[in-house]
Amino acid sequence: MGLIPLWDASRRPVNFPFVTTLIIAINAFVFALELIGGDAFVQKWSAVPANIVAGHGWITILTGMFLHASWSHLIGNMIFLWAFGPEIEDAMNPFRYGVFYLAGGLAAMLAQVAGDPSSKIPELGASGAIAAVMGAFMMTYPRDKIRSLLIVLVFVKVTFIPAGALIGFWFLTQLLDLGTVATAQTGGVAYLAHVGGFIFGVVTARLFETSRRVAEEQ
């Protein structure tokens, strides 16, 4: 069984989600560079916990969140970002949202490094930062209905699920290490990064939101 969130059916952002769109474009551009540069490019710019702990390649904590291991890894992450990002960008304003996204990605990467500091597996992907966006969404709009695709074997159904239930279930799978947001089989950002990013989003969302944020009960 699979569940793919598509967009918030309860509200649309007041302003065009410029930063969310830009993040998606940057991720697509970097993936094109990966296809050109091959494994050497990925190894150079992905975060390796053992190297980070040894004091090498700190910049990869940032660059690693824009790398992806495959087309499915990239597309899966960008679908999740588009499902939850525009409304949070609107609630925070573009600049604060951009800072929040990057900070959430850094928190997620550091959580993964702290959880397995001796690992030599490259960590890459936007899912930790997206987990932070999901955490913020659950705190801000938990009652919103998320238009989603429910996939059971060969059957596909469009359904509407409250954000609190959908994101809460997703987070539970991370805690149980049973699933991830578009995790690649050859490394990638692991569940510890998702948990770290999500907790960052839950804790800090209200600090980044503007005073004109739409209240959840509206």
| Residue 190 burial class via C-beta count within 10 angstroms: exposed 0-12, middle 13-18, buried 19 and up | buried
As a whole number, mean pLDDT of residues 58-80 equals 94
At residue 180 the predicted structure's pLDDT band, cuts being 50, 70 and 90, is very low
pLDDT at 211: 64
Q: Which residues share a beta bridge with 8?
A: 146
pLDDT at 162: 96
Give rounded-to-5 percent helix, strand, coil for the chain.
Answer: 60, 10, 30
pLDDT band of 85, cuts 50, 70, 90: very high
The answer, yes or no, to whether residue 185 has pLDDT greater than 60, is no
- Entry pTM: 0.90
| pLDDT tens for each residue of 193-215 | 899 999 999 999 999 998 655 45
**Mean pLDDT of the residues in the chain:** 89
Q: What is the pLDDT of residue 207?
A: 94
CA 211 – CA 218 distance, rounded (Å): 15
Locus of tokens 């739409």 = 214
More confident residue, 87 or 176: 87
Structure tokens given for 101? 């996204």
Note the pLDDT of residue 1: 66
**Secondary structure of residue 162 in the 3-state scheme:** strand
pLDDT over 90, % of the chain: 72
Q: Which two tokens stand for residue 24?
A: 């998606």
Q: Domains in the chain, ordered, with CATH?
A: 2-208 (1.20.1540.10)
Note the pLDDT of residue 2.
Answer: 81
pLDDT tens, residue by residue, 114-163 = 988 988 888 899 999 999 999 999 999 999 999 999 988 888 999 999 99
Note the maximum CA span of the chain: 50
DSSP character at residue 123: B
